[in-house]
Chains A and B, each alone.
Chain A
């Protein structure tokens, strides 16, 4: 069994850019005894990935390491290249971040698992037949059918790919598994499966687990100890229940609060953030009975190689003025297709009725353009939604130009940016997306939509790719937009906590159908449909290593 110790580790990236040397990790000491589980939480840029990469000496050449990283009592800096190769995978292995892109798209996944075995045959899996058997063994261990070994990565779902990655990490029976955001981009149900799989392996095999995530609840569900990192420094460290349930540091409290506990009245319609958006109206708008956007019997099908697949089946949905409606479901449940068809971006089946303000959705290009002035959509990834070559001003003004709104261009842009809480707006006009943080980019995208003065905003996973603290800010912005401008919003998410935070009503989608639909308070505190119950149960709760002990 192998211990992993970080002793006063500092890591600096040399950089020739204006920023000079970047200190990624500063004086961090952590201890992972054999068989233990440790979670490191922190936001992007906190240095958590850099820290764990140092454990296997996987840092780029520009990184300088100070302090000691001990693997099984041996300083990894003193190992020769051959020795470090032997250590990688045989003693410690990594499940990389963005595992969904870490698989070779042109090779069968089974042979990719075998690849790890070929490099580290360790005298055990010496013949191709033995390696094949071991590969099937590994697939069984991560609950995948043996037939999946001949599948190509694109034929697998996100959760299945993640399991292949875990099988690869397990291949050579390592003592330590390092998992870098293993469940980001997966929905709650798959997340639960992956986490409980990991927890089971840890318990049965005595493997030590070092896991990184930005989500405290995910970590606390599996790990016994938690470390919180910020700006490269260790903020708090201790048993996970203590850190989560009675945090000492403000920063930990903020992280813990960012993901709301469903059922907790304090976070209902109140996303926790240090920078809440201002409500300027004396009498904020509240949900009315006036229906703005309505879908009746909406069905959408796609032609696939396996024939026609129905992504959305007979959905009835109503969005009222100043209502925030959350559509919740797993990935692949047809949420995004539903949103696209509400905007007229997707062809719908005959018999579907879509109407806006009582009138059927137009078909001609010109009328659609006018319609889109009133109904706007915000896409999933703020980084991709902005043309990298165009400044903030150009991005926001684009909608005005397209819609042929010529007067008061400058004022409208400034007004929209300020409504999206990007202040002072003048300072941002010339920035290009690359110079902005994720949260700022999302605000620019929102401002671009607001510039058209829409009545309805459709947002597809608006906070999924953002850090915990930014998440609160953006959610409070949605609430403020509703209260200040009387805007209706349809928010698509896989995160039930988001619905609890800001939505008035929630629709739960499964396989293209809405299985439960109603007010948030009622649906989330007293779910009727078993799928809603299943979704709710899968949401990791803070503290108590819930997934490990449930098993």
Chain B
């Protein structure tokens, strides 16, 4: 049958045009040259096309003003979170070293964001709190996205008993009050940042799974999936070459929107006193402020500062997320 391969039966590129790539291949041993020369070529074409697509999307993103503002705000918070130890040494949080500082000092030039009940500078606490809040927000979201994508793909792709069982598990997590579950998890497990990440991640993936599943189902019915099957593809190929790339944009857009929720969830848990009390976080600051009745005593800066920080970061993530969504789904752009 080899004499009849299309590659040989059809007039190859080398026979009718002076293509150095083609003639070189024809001349030498097909096995080695197939790998070294032109085989790379095909892959390179694919890579170039993807680069171009990425550039186009980047241009679209840049033309979106709210998204840029969001990105700048995010970048600012990430930079101050990373650089926290350089800007404000950890000793500034040590109560034992803040004996000569006034307690409950309102915002002024000496104390830009005011001080708390122990005389600590609030801006330092915000700085250090950003580390935990953003880390937990992103880590919990990544965890929830990974679980959600895997479960959603599996529920959409596999039919019959297996798919049914997965979908019931998803349903179970959807109807569960997630905050309650997170509270239970974080009080049962050892205290710490990691526990909070697990608690939030485990409770927030179900809605992602539902979205991914519906997208998977719609892609699954396309003819090109059937064509892949005809070409001999198994589950692995269909899941990772067709379905995953098709749901990935949706997952990414969903990620940025979920980060905001995760940051709020972290604050909620810390506020309820379930977080790691030894570490600063925006939720912890809020909890402390409530412990001393800051709002009713007129220490407005104590409540407002962490609240505004949470608001800014969540808003920034949402604006970036919306821009991602618009890039994936052109129909949203004009709205």
Q: Does A403 contact B (CB under 8 A)?
A: yes
Q: Which of A222-230, A415-423, A492-500 contacts B (4 or more CB under 8 A)?
A: A415-423
Q: Nearest-CB distance from B34 to chain A (Å)?
A: 4
Q: Nearest-CB distance from B321 to chain A (Å)?
A: 21
Chain A, residues 255-288, CB within 8 Å of chain B (1/0): the string is 0000000000000000000000000110000000
Q: Does A137 contact B (CB under 8 A)?
A: no
- A393-449 contacts to B (CB < 8 Å): 393-394, 397-399, 401-403, 406-416, 418-419, 424-426, 429-430, 445, 448-449
Q: Which of A343, A415, A452 has the most CB of B within 10 A?
A: A415
A149 CA / B277 CA spacing, docked (Å): 69
**Is A402's CB under 8 angstroms from B11's CB?**
no
**Is A485's CB under 8 angstroms from B231's CB?**
no
Q: Does A167 contact B (CB under 8 A)?
A: no
- B240-264 contacts to A (CB < 8 Å): 241-242, 245-246
A307 CA / B147 CA spacing, docked (Å): 39
Q: Nearest-CB distance from B234 to chain A (Å)?
A: 6
A409 CA / B31 CA spacing, docked (Å): 10
**Is A419's CB under 8 angstroms from B13's CB?**
no
Which of B37, B39, B227 contacts A385, CB < 8 Å? Answer: B227
Which of B30, B227, B233 contacts A411, CB < 8 Å? Answer: B30
**Is B49's CB under 8 angstroms from A416's CB?**
no
Q: A384-B223, A426-B13, A455-B1 are in contact. Are A372 and B232 (CB under 8 A)?
A: yes
**Is B30's CB under 8 angstroms from A485's CB?**
no
Q: Does A365 contact B (CB under 8 A)?
A: yes
B38: A residues at CB distance < 8 A? 409-411
Q: A345-B229, A411-B12 are in contact. Are A369 and B49 (CB under 8 A)?
A: no
Chain A interface extent, by class: 35 or more
Q: Which of B40-48, B65-73, B207-215, B296-304 contacts A (4 or more CB under 8 A)?
A: B40-48
A125 CA / B230 CA spacing, docked (Å): 55
A411 CA / B42 CA spacing, docked (Å): 10
Q: Nearest-CB distance from A180 to chain B (Å)?
A: 25
Q: Nearest-CB distance from B159 to chain A (Å)?
A: 13
Q: Which of B2-10, B189-197, B266-274, B310-318 contacts A (4 or more CB under 8 A)?
A: B2-10
A424 CA / B19 CA spacing, docked (Å): 12
Q: Does A368 contact B (CB under 8 A)?
A: yes
Q: Nearest-CB distance from B36 to chain A (Å)?
A: 11
Q: Which of A77-85, A236-244, A374-382 contacts B (4 or more CB under 8 A)?
A: A374-382
**Is B228's CB under 8 angstroms from A398's CB?**
yes
Residue of A whose beta carbon sits closest to that of B40: A410
Which residues of B are in contact with A by a Cβ distance under 8 Å? Answer: 1, 4-13, 17, 22, 25, 30-31, 34-35, 37-39, 41-42, 45-46, 48-49, 222-224, 226-234, 237, 241-242, 245-246
Q: Would you list 12 pairs from A and B whose C-beta atoms are within 8 A, ordered by A residue?
A: A343-B230, A365-B234, A391-B46, A399-B231, A402-B233, A402-B234, A410-B38, A418-B10, A418-B12, A419-B9, A448-B227, A484-B9
